[in-house]
Amino acid sequence: MAGNTTFTMIKPDAVQNGYIGDILAIILKNGFKIRAMKLTRLTPELAGKFYAIHRERPFYGELCTYMSSGPIVAAILEKDNAVEDFRRLIGATDPAKAEEGTIRRLFARSLAENAIHGSDSDDNALVEGRFFFSEFEMY
Ligand code: UDP
Ligand code: MG
């Protein structure tokens, strides 16, 4: 059965461009509830740990540099079928291929600097949420 929570980050480019409010408004309008949220910044080491699954990919170094280049907003979101519905809301990894109206289509700069993260499975949503939040920071 599909779980009801997912994890997201508003990435450094979108924070830098002043899109936090617009992106959160879209997320809330689409029925997601915020269970945890913080403005924080990853070190290159923490970014490397978060994206360890991509360790062998050619873009890994660039990804870690980018994800530690400025503050991000990390959040745990709740909704029925959260992982799948949120992935649909953010759109394809490459904003040029993302559907009209999706967050990446609206706010992303490029394939690398693509405005927002969304977990790709229920298991990863749990792991990623715990990476940023303690029990006392989830409501
Ligand atoms: N990325 C990149 N080049 C690529 C593929 C991915 O720079 O060719 C970056 C991009 O920021 C992406 C992140 O690495 O969001 C993680 O990649 P993944 O394939 O997991 O995409 P996502 O799940 O974020 O859509
Ligand atoms: Mg992914």
Catalytic residue among 13, 27, 117, 128: 117
Amino acid code (one letter) for 132: F
What does the alpha-carbon distance between residue 4 and residue 35 come to, in Å, rounded to a whole number? Answer: 11
Tokens of 23: 């992106």
| Per-residue pLDDT tens digits for 69-110 | 999 999 999 999 999 999 999 999 999 999 999 999 999 999
Q: 54, 84, 93: which to mutate for ligand 1, most atoms within 8 A of CB?
A: 93
SS (H, E, C) 20-56: HHHHHHHHHHCCCEEEEEEEECCCHHHHHHHCHHHCC
Known catalytic residue: 117?
A: yes
The parent domain of residue 39 ranges over 5-137
Tokens of 103: 């967050």
CATH value at residue 35: 3.30.70.141
With cut-offs at 50, 70 and 90, classify the pLDDT of residue 46.
Answer: very high
What does the alpha-carbon distance between residue 76 and residue 65 come to, in Å, rounded to a whole number? Answer: 24
Domain count for the chain, please give it. 1
H/E segment holding residue 9? strand 5-10
- The closest residue, in CA terms, to atom 17 on ligand 1 is 93
With cut-offs at 50, 70 and 90, classify the pLDDT of residue 2.
Answer: confident
12 close to 122: Cβ distance less than 8 angstroms: no
- Residue 87 CA: nearest ligand 1 atom is 25
For the residues 41-68, what does the mean pLDDT come to? 98
Which residue is listed with tokens 């291929």?
A: 97
Q: Residue 102 CA to chain centroid, in angstroms?
A: 13
Alpha helix segments (H runs only) across 81-135: 82-90, 103-107, 122-132
112 lines ligand 1 (CB under 6 A): yes
Residues recorded for the chain: 139
Q: Which pLDDT does position 1 carry in this prediction?
A: 62
114 lines ligand 1 (CB under 6 A): yes
